[in-house]
Structure 1
Amino acid sequence: MPVTSTASDTAGLVHAAIEVHEPGQTPGKVGALLDTIEFQLNPKEVTIAKSAKWESKNQKKSASAPPATYQGPEPQKLSVEMYFDETRQRDGSVVKRVEALFQACTPTTSSKDGNKPSAPWVKFKWGVLTGFVGYIKSVSAKYTLFSPNGTPLRAVCTVALEELANEPKKQNPTSGGLQPRHAHTIREGDSLAAIAYREYGDPAYWRTLAEVNGIDDPLRLRPGRIVLIPTLEELSNADDRENARKEIARALLH
């Protein structure tokens, strides 16, 4: 959805900016501020996109479209153009500003020292649009004006940001809450091995998937039955697997 500024009064002008931070210790909460990349000219448009993931499996014998199963939200995406101009500056150059954007796509020194390399987390800030916390997915720079000696004086940068989760992926099992899982509705021709391969990349997980869902005969899956899909971490850990089995059993009873 494009958001366009049409105000002509510059008395209260607020410059858009991208704040560059160290990766945070918890989802959605940024670390220390590393840099602030300000827009020289506020953008004409800011495009924000949000989508959801749905799964629909075709059935040969079905006369209509098969039902879709909600798989969860996709990360929010934000794209914007940044305009840089140093034609009024003596010996000016836009290279430093562009390089700051490129640098935000590489691991921070602190994250590398901690053996957990990660690019910075960023916040897009402009007026009421201050809640987006994510990372820079891509930067494309086009230099549009050069000095006689070849120094770039103007540039247009297309910056794509992607949202970071603002909730933890998994809570302590002893707290009674595990990572939210999605469900799959069994359709004709489904098998646990195929579901395991699609979800985890390994069909061998069909046995564990049957165990946590209380499926006694995996070869006789009844179409319409709902199979809850635990996370791979839950399947790989015995304690988590048992917690997942109990939680799924409670869910099926209700």
Structure 2
Amino acid sequence: MKKPTGKVSAFIQRYNPPLGGGNRPGGPLGGPVTFMFNPNQLTLTKSASWIPHVVRGAEQVGIPEFSGSEPRTLALTVFLDVTDSHDRTVQQRVETLLTCCTPTRASIAAKAPSPPWVKFTWGQFQTVSFYSYVSQVTATYTLFDSSGTPLRATCELNLTEISGSKPGQNPTSGGRSARRVHRVVDGDSLPLLAHREYGDPTVWRVIAEANDIDDPTRLAPGTELLLPAPDEFPAEPARGHEPTAGATALPWRR
């Protein structure tokens, strides 16, 4: 008979973002952020994108077109309480979580600013353990000592999956041979879309050219973007760094 195992604590591990446009993170960034109390609720979301086709004058709608699977999202709550410990503040723990939304020093030095990648882990619960980015951290302080030092806080975290897999392949051509349509959501950028679709964020200009985007820094949520198939790329795809604010023209256009 097996002996009962002890408590397995949930934690978040931060990783250095890939600086060369790869689809795997760098090494761990500091130690794991271990939860003081395991979460009592996790919300995992997975959705698919479909493009509806309305047939004018028809009694029934047209058959929708599947445009792709959206990344998984994970919402969780981190409860912090130091009223019964020697550590008399939760500020440092909250600030560590906030760094998940700010560029790392190494990425800034490499002129490719990016927040760390993260992975939530809780024992053998693999379904909720995947590389992701933290899209939002909301900290609510609920208890203070007489000097105003926070002793208790609740942090809401929203994680969005970063796929580490290569784009799907067509068994006959060895690569995707069909165009796709992507509906822009908050947080999207052309390099991020290029990374998800082609595994290379530096080919964002191909998406910009296919959609006649003159200002790549402005992507309105709800806009539908055409994502070209890799076999439509020019012999030497236009590559470049992430678009910067104020960009008004794409350099390969004449």
The alignment's TM-score, normalised by the length of structure 1, stands at: 0.66
The whole-number CA distance in structure 2 between the counterparts of 1:97 and 1:63 is 58
- Match in the other structure for 2:136: 138
Q: What amino acid sits opposite 1:32 in the alignment?
A: G
Q: What amino acid sits opposite 2:157 in the alignment?
A: V
The whole-number CA distance in structure 2 between the counterparts of 1:183 and 1:90 is 55
1:60 and 2:56 aligned: yes
Indicate which of 8, 16, 25 corresponds to 2:10. Answer: 16
Preserved contact between residue 72 and residue 182 of structure 1 (Cα < 8 Å): no
- Deviation of the 1:177 alpha carbon: 3.4
Indicate which of 29, 32, 39 corresponds to 2:27. Answer: 32
1:236-251 map, 5 Å: 237-238=234-235
- Match in the other structure for 1:72: 68
Larger Rg: 1
1:194-213 map, 5 Å: 200-202=210-212
Preserved contact between residue 178 and residue 229 of structure 2 (Cα < 8 Å): no
Q: Secondary structure at the match of 2:12?
A: strand
- Match in the other structure for 1:177: 174
- Deviation of the 1:115 alpha carbon: 1.2
Query: Structure 1's 230 and 162: CA in aligned 2 closer, same or farther, altered over 3 A?
Result: closer
Deviations 1:177-204 (A, max 9, x none): 34564458xxxxxxxxxxxx9994329x
Query: Structure 1's 164 and 183: CA in aligned 2 closer, same or farther, altered over 3 A?
Result: closer
The alignment's TM-score, normalised by the length of structure 2, stands at: 0.66
Deviations 1:28-81 (A, max 9, x none): x32111131111000001111100110012222121121100101101100100
The whole-number CA distance in structure 1 between the counterparts of 2:133 and 2:123 is 20
Q: Secondary structure at the match of 1:65?
A: coil
The whole-number CA distance in structure 1 between the counterparts of 2:114 and 2:85 is 35
1:73-152 map, 5 Å: 73-90=69-86, 92-130=88-126, 131-152=129-150
Query: Structure 1's 199 and 61: CA in aligned 2 closer, same or farther, altered over 3 A?
Result: farther
- Match in the other structure for 1:155: 153
After TM superposition, the structure 1 stretch with the greater mean CA deviation from structure 2, 29-38 or 114-123, is: 29-38
Instruction: Give unpaired runs (5+ residues) of structure 1.
Output: 1-8, 185-196, 204-228, 241-254
Query: Structure 1's 230 and 89: CA in aligned 2 closer, same or farther, altered over 3 A?
Result: closer
Q: Secondary structure at the match of 2:111?
A: coil
